[in-house]
């Protein structure tokens, strides 16, 4: 997947989170918490979501980072870094 701008990447990440969770994620903003603002999110689902995003967006994540991702912006920033 080719994503050029931060805005595009944010849009893509929010959309793919919605696909993964099979839920509406249009309420998510950059400072939204990945756990508190996603219904029933937990550490297992977050890791599973990273595996999904890895394939959907085309990057490779280091499993140690999962515990450090608090907000949507954290996730976007990390993916941006990995896409470089």
Partner 1 sequence: MTAGRRVVVTGFGLASALGNTPDRFWCRLLAGESGFRPISRFDPARHKSRLAAEADDRDLHFGKGALAFELARMASFVRFAVHAGEAALEGAGLEPVREAADRGLIAVGAAMGGLPNIEAGVLRQEDRGPGKTTPFLIPSLIPGMAAGMLALRPGFQGPQQTLGGACAAGRLAIAHLFQAIRRGDCDWGLAGGAEAVTTPITFSGFEAMNALSLASGPDGAPRPFDRRRDGFMVGEGAALLVLEEWGRARARGAPVLGEILGAASVTGGTDIVTPDAASADRSMRLALADAGREAGEIGGLFAQGSGVVRGDAAELEAVARLLPRVAVTSIKAQVGYTFAANGPLSLVAALMSLQNGVLPGIPTFESPDPDSPDLRILAAPRTCPLRTCMVNAHGFGGVHSTLVVGRT
11 versus 42: smaller Cβ distance to partner 1: 42
Q: Does 24 interact with partner 1 (rule: CB under 8 A)?
A: no
Task: Evaluate whether 76 touches 10 at the Cβ level (below 8 Å).
Answer: yes
Number of residues that bind partner 1 (CB under 8 A): 12
Q: Which of 43, 58, 67, 81 binds partner 1 (CB under 8 A)?
A: 43
The residues facing 33 across adjacent strands are 71
Q: Does 81 interact with partner 1 (rule: CB under 8 A)?
A: no
Cα 24 to chain centroid distance, Å, stands at 14
Distance in Å, CB of 41 to partner 1, minimum = 10
Neighbours of 5 (CB within 10 A): 9
What does the DSSP 8-state code read for residue 23?
S
Of 4-12, 27-35, 44-52, 70-78, the window that binds partner 1 (rule: CB under 8 A) is: 44-52
Q: Which of 5, 24, 27, 63 binds partner 1 (CB under 8 A)?
A: 63
Task: Residue 84: name the closest of 68, 60, 65, 66 by CA.
Answer: 60
């Amino acid at each position: 997947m080719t994503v050029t701008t931060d805005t595009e990447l944010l849009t893509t990440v929010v959309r793919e989170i919605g696909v993964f969770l099979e839920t509406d994620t249009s309420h998510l903003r950059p400072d939204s918490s990945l756990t508190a603002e996603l219904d029933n999110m937990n550490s297992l689902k977050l890791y599973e979501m990273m595996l999904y995003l890895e394939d959907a967006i085309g990057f490779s994540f280091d499993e140690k980072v999962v515990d450090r991702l608090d907000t949507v912006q954290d996730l976007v920033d990390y993916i941006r870094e990995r896409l470089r």
